Structure 1
Amino acid sequence: MSTTTVDTHSVAEELARLLPSSQPLVARPAEPGERPAPEAVAVVASFVGQGSAELVVVAEEAVAEAMAGAAALTLAEALRPALEAASQRLGTGVLSAAEERPAGDALTGRDVQLYALTAGGGVQAWFGIRTVSTAAPVSSAPLTPGSMRVLYDVELTLTTEIGRTRMPLRDVLALTPGTVLELDRAAGSPADVMVNGRLVARGDIVVVDEDYAVRITEIVSETSAQ
């Protein structure tokens, strides 16, 4: 899909759905003159893929309760899952690391579509999206290596997971040296190789020159990763 035809309201709704707010949020287009305070903290991330877009979230107050007691969690980290989910509505691509900027700088320009995220009749947070049109029509088919050549020099962060577990925040905050966490993976099972949170391959953990490494044993297709 092209970013020129993307349903930005659905992007805003998906972000509102996953924001860690104490109240369910509903996205609506901002009224003329409605804007967050220029000095408010905005979390900004760029999406590059079949098209390009910049996603801006102003939600420090809305997620304050969720972040209370989690001093090690930055605002950008708290909003990352919601940004990831929203970016998936834009098609295949890569979401950059998020950074914090003043809202007055991040939401400038007429090309920003601004949404108010409301609850209880009041605005609790804001979402802005600035889409960038491609120079030529973009096919709805998946991206091919040739069409992504312009992105070849973009550096991606790969992570390796040997397993996961879920636990309440209260238990995470109570972790101490010596705590043993049971993971959802049997010993000897292949590790997952992730790019921006998406599974792309599996492999065996090996040691190379006294450093850990991963020997790729399987490339995971988009359909099998779901």
Structure 2
Amino acid sequence: MTDTVPAYANANALAQQAVELLVQQLPTATPLTAVPLGPGQAPSAASEAIRVHFVGSTSADLVLVAHEAIAEALAGAGVGVTAAEILRPALEAAARPLGAGVLDTAHEDTLGDALVDPDMEAFVLVDADGTAQAWFGIRVRQNRQQTAPAVAPAPAPTTPVDDRARMHMLRDVELVLTAEIGRTRLPMRQVLDLVPGTVLELDRAAGAPADVMVNGRLVARGEVVVVDEDYGIRITEIVTDEDGR
């Protein structure tokens, strides 16, 4: 069970990090800059919005209005591709500052009063001329059992047995692992010009290990192998918190 935490100490910092990462991944025709939403700057309550929830030790509700900003990308994505699917990578990036957790399936809905909710950290995304192109909001939540009382008693020391018991409870939770062999950045015009046969140069040398990611977090590296005609990853390195990015 979660409670909204408007006074959460890191809410503003988390929201700022989230929107900065989101802007970097938005497939818009022009670069956008995030500024705090001011009075009268929210879009119509009837606007189409993408909503998604992040569940973890720090949970959050995210809302994004960007249908017009990604119109070109949506038009070039092909039949059946939704705005929620196109915006998924940007929303995953926005959730990274929240730490370990799961981002559920995004869905489209009318905006309503989400961005003017007093508990929502809201931003307007503007182009170089200062024209609003999109809007983003994030409401940070915290697990109720983790909310500290006014006078917190000294925490009881944990033991390895306690830690193992907690981990045992999570053993059946399924996580999505992805393998990444490299990345590249392209302007929108080149993305729209992609055709079968186009070769994209990635930022990874041939034969370099692939990154194994869990919810966007690097956890291991390995080499690509073939297992019964399917691709697989042979783990060669486990990445610790100190080594991860």
Give the TM-score of the pair, scaled to structure 1. Answer: 0.71
Aligned residue for 2:13? 10
For residue 50 of structure 2, the aligned residue among 43, 53, 75 is 43
For residue 27 of structure 1, the aligned residue among 28, 36, 55 is 36
For residue 99 of structure 1, the aligned residue among 77, 84, 107 is 107
Aligned residue for 1:220? 239
Q: Indicate how the Cα distance of structure 1 residues 167 and 11 shifts in structure 2: closer, same or farther if over 3 A, else same.
A: same
Q: Does 1:129 align with 2:138?
A: yes
Give the 3-state SS of the residue equivalent to 2:242 in structure 1: helix
- Asked whether the equivalents of residues 74 and 86 of structure 2 are also in contact (C-alpha less than 8 Å), the reply is no
Gaps of 5+ in 2: 149-162
Aligned residue for 1:71? 77
- Asked whether the equivalents of residues 41 and 124 of structure 2 are also in contact (C-alpha less than 8 Å), the reply is no
Aligned residue for 1:188? 207
Measure how far apart 1:41 and its partner are.
Answer: 1.5
Q: Indicate how the Cα distance of structure 1 residues 97 and 152 shifts in structure 2: closer, same or farther if over 3 A, else same.
A: farther
Stretch moving more, 122-131 or 202-211:
122-131
Q: Indicate how the Cα distance of structure 1 residues 96 and 109 shifts in structure 2: closer, same or farther if over 3 A, else same.
A: same
Distance 2:203 2:130 in 1: 42
Give the 3-state SS of the residue equivalent to 2:207 in structure 1: coil
Give the 3-state SS of the residue equivalent to 1:177 in structure 2: coil
- Asked whether the equivalents of residues 115 and 122 of structure 2 are also in contact (C-alpha less than 8 Å), the reply is no
Measure how far apart 1:74 and its partner are.
Answer: 4.1
RMSD: 3.8
Aligned residue for 2:217? 198
For residue 211 of structure 1, the aligned residue among 230, 236, 243 is 230
Distance 1:178 1:122 in 2: 37
Aligned residue for 1:174? 193
Question: How many residues are treated as equivalent by the alignment?
Answer: 217
Q: Does 1:54 align with 2:57?
A: no
Distance 1:123 1:93 in 2: 31
Give the 3-state SS of the residue equivalent to 1:76 in structure 2: helix
Q: Does 1:83 align with 2:91?
A: yes
- Asked whether the equivalents of residues 42 and 59 of structure 1 are also in contact (C-alpha less than 8 Å), the reply is yes
**Corresponding letter in the other structure for 1:24:** T
